[in-house]
Amino acid sequence: MATKGKHIDRTKQVIVIRDLHKSFGTNHVLRGIDLDIYQGENVVVLGRSGTGKSVLIKIIAGLLKPDKGSVNVLGNNVAAISYRELEQLRLRIGFSFQSSALYDSMTVRENLEFPLLRNSKHLSAKQVNQAVEEALEAVGLSQTINQWPAELSGGQRKRIGIARTLIMQPAIMLYDEPTAGLDPITSMEINDLINEVQQRYNTSSIIITHDLTCAKTTGDRVAVLLDGRFVQEGTFEDVFNSGDERLKSFYDYNFIT
């Protein structure tokens, strides 16, 4: 796979989040989040289950509305734009779901064709076929093209889910627990794939995880979400050398010290 190499443009912000709040009933999940993501940067959001990590990326993708604060994605205020503008913005955002979310009633080929046929109607059948084959090749699963999602392993499903988002060549990738439920070897393959996607397509990514190996391997920057706020931010080494007691058990569990 040809790679361009990492190029993070610190002058160009692709996501700007300010004072973001979100509640579900009496459960105040996000309590004033501020976050900037730069062009070509992989940012890992770490945190315990139920701290609102997935809620954060669902707000970025416009699947949930924030209660307060602003979320600016590629120059668009997600909460303020029309549904049609949001649809156009979503074409530039790739979302890899925790459950992969492949369409059960479609083959791998049909899953990959789905966003392309609906949003790039000018493409010929040959061009669509070529795009599908390229996306599958990028995730190393060309042989699964005619299989059904139920016939794939968990790791393969994750990869196909990523391929389905890559086919639209997004500027931003949002990964929700990309290594959850996978064995260590498959997890490393997914981590490598995340880095390859960043280098090949120069995407900016938010990776939601509580897997520290994933965080260390893929993250240019790590932000730790606790009690609805970011309590630490920096490189992996900066965060875990800070001596913050709240992160100790996290580190100990992942690296069995």
Give the residue, chosen from 8, 16, 36, 63, that forms a contact with another protein under the rule CB under 8 A. Answer: 63
Interaction between residue 97 and another protein (CB under 8 A): yes
Which residue(s) pair with 44 in the sheet?
Answer: 207, 222
Give the residue, chosen from 8, 16, 91, 188, that forms a contact with another protein under the rule CB under 8 A. Answer: 91
Between residues 40 and 62, which has the closer beta carbon with respect to another protein?
A: 62
> Angle, to 10 degrees, between the axis of helix 125-138 and the axis of helix 154-166?
130
Q: For residues 250 and 212, is the Cβ–Cβ distance under 8 A? A: yes
d(CA 190, CA 153): 13
Q: For residues 95 and 165, is the Cβ–Cβ distance under 8 A? A: yes
State whether residue 7 is helix, strand or coil. Answer: coil
Residue 44 CB, shortest distance to another protein, in Å, is 20
Site for another protein in 155-184 (CB under 8 A): 161, 164, 168
Alpha-carbon dihedral angle through residues 79, 57, 15, 192, given to the nearest 10 degrees: -160
Find the part of the chain contacting another protein (CB under 8 A) among 4-12, 87-95, 195-203, 242-250.
87-95
Interaction between residue 245 and another protein (CB under 8 A): no
Strand order, beta sheet including 172-176:
93-96, 172-176, 204-209, 42-47, 221-226, 229-234
Between residues 96 and 187, which has the closer beta carbon with respect to another protein?
A: 96
Residue 96 CB, shortest distance to another protein, in Å, is 10
Residue 176 CB, shortest distance to another protein, in Å, is 9
Give the residue, chosen from 3, 77, 88, 127, that forms a contact with another protein under the rule CB under 8 A. Answer: 88
Interaction between residue 95 and another protein (CB under 8 A): yes
Neighbour-count burial for 66-84, b at 16+ CB within 10 Å, e otherwise: beebebbbeebebbeeeee
Interaction between residue 151 and another protein (CB under 8 A): no
Give the residue, chosen from 58, 109, 216, 229, that forms a contact with another protein under the rule CB under 8 A. Answer: 58
d(CA 93, CA 88): 9
Residues that bind another protein (CB under 8 A): 26, 28, 58, 61, 63, 83, 87-88, 90-91, 93, 95, 97-99, 101-105, 114-115, 118-119, 161, 164, 168
